[in-house]
Amino acid sequence: MASITMDNLCKVYIGGVKAVSDVNLDIADGEMIVLVGPSGCGKSTLLRMVAGLETISDGTLKIGDRVVNNLEPADRDIAMVFQNYALYPHMTVFNNLAYGLKNRGFKKAEIDRRVREAAQMLEIGQFLDRKPRQLSGGQRQRVAMGRALVREPAAFLFDEPLSNLDAKLRVQMRVEIRQLQKRLRTTSLYVTHDQLEALTMADRLVVLNAGRIEQVGTPMELYSRPATTFVAGFIGSPAMNMLPAEYLKTLVSADDLAHLPQSADLIGIRPEDLSLAPPKEGEMALTGELMLLEPAGAESHLHLKLAGLKDIFVARLPQVPDVSEGTALTFSLRRDQLHPFDSASGQRVA
């Protein structure tokens, strides 16, 4: 168990490409941190720097009180779960779990105890004599987890561990990993590109974009008060609608936007904040023509055309309304649910 401290971490590849720039992050002991961002944002690189699989170009990395910049992965007291599991194909499940312990010179009895304990925790006890190719994807995933567990490391590092599983299994494993992590209270760093996975699993969420941290916070902080337009667009599904303030002024009354600062020239509206009920006190109205209705069982996504706006505006309702495409619909929205941004800097202004 240990904290992880990143101080101005940078990764510059040969040729000058900067994959990670000036990342500062303190991860508390026992915390589950999820790194999320689009492909190529540097999240995997950052994780691999913590693991020791990528060199650190600049800055310091501490695990516990130790600076580990120049330590081999094996000496950092971390365990990693890989995206494609990286199980040793010629070894039985037992030996896959035991390999790291054997290399560290653990006694046979201790190895046996730890492997069986982990196998029981992950319910893979009956597979210990099998080879990885005889297992299903979900079972392989558990073995990969087990290999991390038996080490009892200071920190777990997960590199998109669920992206090779089907949707149903992914949800199930997500819950199991989170429960396991809460039970063991082991510091964890988890990389994913799936914002839903990020929101549901994290104690704190780190959104990365182009190698920089956009925002750090609890999932709900990031969801309800995104600090930048990038975070606003990345967290939440469907993505937040972004309207120029000038344009919005032509649609709604001046009072509706009076509470926003002058510098706010880009206004974000979450699709799920809109409702079809008539506007009440403190609410504003927005009218658009329904282009497409996407029913999704318990909810529906409405693609709307607003007068004079090129982009499609999306609303999400907690039911499937009985409306036909081509009709004009009026939505209501609480004024305090507008997200004001400065378009030049991309920063939130209030």
Asked if 243 and 318 touch (Cβ cutoff 8 Å), the reply is no
Strand partners, 283: 334
- Nearer CB in complex with other proteins: 75/123: 75
Question: In angstroms, what is the minimal distance from the CB of 136 to other proteins?
Answer: 14
Q: Do 46 and 52 contact (CB within 8 A), yes or no?
A: no
Comparing CB distances to other proteins, the nearer of 13 and 88 is 88
53 sits near other proteins (criterion: CB under 8 A): yes
Among 30, 38, 64, 100, binds other proteins (CB under 8 A): 100
Q: How far is CA 310 from CA 85, 238, 307, in A?
A: 44, 18, 9
Which residue lies nearer to other proteins by CB, 153 or 268? 153
Please answer whether residues 269 and 252 qualify as being in contact, where contact means their C-beta atoms are separated by less than 8 angstroms.
no
Selection from 240, 223, 254, 257 nearest residue 311 by Cα: 240
> Which residues, at least 6 apart from 235, have a Cβ–Cβ distance to it below 8 Å?
195, 198, 199, 205, 207, 222, 223, 226
Please give the distance of CA 71 from its chain centroid, rounded to a whole number.
28
Q: In whole angstroms, how close is the CB of 26 to other proteins at the nearest point?
A: 23
Q: Does position 164 bind other proteins by CB under 8 A?
A: no
Q: Which is nearer to other proteins, 43 or 270 (CB)?
A: 43
Check the CA dihedral 227-228-231-237 and report its sign: positive
Closest to other proteins by CB, 147 or 193: 147
Among positions 9, 20, 78, 284, the unique one binding other proteins when judged by CB under 8 A: 78
Q: Which is nearer to other proteins, 94 or 230 (CB)?
A: 94
Part in contact with other proteins (CB under 8 A); list of ranges 35-43, 47-55, 209-217, 220-228: 47-55
Question: Of residues 71, 82, 224, 283, which one binds other proteins by CB under 8 A?
Answer: 82
The count of C-alpha atoms lying within 13 angstroms of the C-alpha of 83, restricted to the half-sphere facing its C-beta, is: 10
Residue 161 found at the interface with other proteins (CB under 8 A): no
State the residues that interact with other proteins by CB under 8 A: 51-53, 72-74, 78-80, 82-84, 86-90, 99-100, 103-104, 133, 147
